[in-house]
Amino acid sequence: MSTGSSDNQTRSYLMQRFSEIGIHPRAKLGQNFLIDLNLLRLLHNSAQLESNDVVLEVGTGTGSLTGLMSQNAGHVITVEIDSVMHQLAKEELQERGNITFLHTDILQNKNRLSPLVLDAVRSALAKVPNSRFKLAANLPYCVATPLMSNLLLTDIPPYSMTVTIQKELAERIVAKPSTKDYSALSLWMQCQCHCRIIRNMPPSVFWPRPKVHSAIVQVTFDTRLRKRIPDLQYFHQFCREVFFHRRKFLRSVLVAMLKNKLSKPEVDDIMVKMNFTDQTRAESLSVGTLLKLCETIRTILQAKE
């Protein structure tokens, strides 16, 4: 999602502004503008920005949140794929010296973030003493999952991610084992971060109104949690595979995952070692248990090489 550029932003203000320049919100780009300024300030305040923070915003819109964040953060890097929105925000905030405007797609492809954006973040971090990297944004729905997931694979994982996303996605991020929303995403986010929903939001707080509810979610990175994972890339792939058929019994999932790598008796040995039964499903296991299972498998495979 995107935001507008005025502290007096309302639906009527945005409609008039867009009419003046002859443009319309583009649903394909997730352009639903936040018209509840109390929620915009809640998002900003929840990010707890300070002078040593380098903030990444994806979905500049006309620059409302961008300008708000630049008042507190050391530097804001804001990314906008729409050329008109990019230019509008740049003109509105041109006097702010601590904002980098990037007209690009945050995603190079589905599984890779834009090197241009990551390089800009690294460069800004190098210039700000004792810097912290944060993501704070009203995210377009279509980029939320790949953006948040892939940032945790980089060498610069954000100190925190405070974002507006689809409510359904927020519920998957914070889901607990044995619930309908517990998934590969739950496992991946919670293996490194503390996750919470700050506020649920109805469609009426946006213009145009999206067809779904939204939520402000905060994900806080924990270095101690990440240190439990010897091979981050391997565990990322493990998360996807172990939940690919989430309703299947775990043994069947592991046999399929490890085909041509481990025999069925070897899989059975792992099941016994982990105190699993034939009825065990991945969706019932805690993050800690799945981390232990992944490392057990990785160690066995490594020994076979």
| N- to C-terminal Cα separation, the chain | 47
CATH of the domain at 272: 1.10.8.100
- Residue where a domain stops, chosen among 226, 261, 287: 226
Place of tokens 């702010």: 96
Q: What is the pLDDT of residue 2?
A: 44
The half-sphere exposure of 145 on its side-chain side, counting CA atoms within 13 A, is 16
pLDDT tens per residue across span 129-185:
899 999 999 999 999 999 999 999 999 999 999 999 999 999 999 999 999 999 999
Shared domain for 216 and 246, answered yes or no, is no
pLDDT tens per residue across span 263-277:
999 999 999 999 999
- Grade residue 255 by pLDDT with cuts at 50, 70 and 90: very high
- Grade residue 28 by pLDDT with cuts at 50, 70 and 90: low
Number of domains in the chain: 2
Shared domain for 239 and 290, answered yes or no, is yes
- Grade residue 246 by pLDDT with cuts at 50, 70 and 90: confident
267 is in which domain, residue-wise?
Answer: 232-304
> CA 35, CA 274: separation in Å to the nearest integer?
51
> CA 37, CA 22: separation in Å to the nearest integer?
25
Shared domain for 88 and 215, answered yes or no, is yes
Contact (Cβ atoms closer than 8 angstroms) between residue 133 and residue 54: yes
The half-sphere exposure of 273 on its side-chain side, counting CA atoms within 13 A, is 13
pLDDT tens per residue across span 50-83:
999 999 999 998 899 999 999 999 999 999 999 9
Pairing of β 193-201 and β 132-138: unpaired
Please report which helix (H) or strand (E) contains residue 221, including its range.
Answer: strand 214-221
Burial (0-12, 13-18, 19+ Cβ within 10 Å), 240: middle
Q: What is the pLDDT of residue 240?
A: 95
Tokens of 302: 């490594």
Shared domain for 51 and 138, answered yes or no, is yes
Q: Is the pLDDT score of 9 beyond 90?
A: no
Residue type, 298: R
Rounded percentage of the chain residues whose pLDDT exceeds 70: 94
Shared domain for 89 and 151, answered yes or no, is yes
Mean pLDDT of 273-285: 96
Place of tokens 């915003």: 57
> CA 165, CA 143: separation in Å to the nearest integer?
10
Shared domain for 187 and 285, answered yes or no, is no
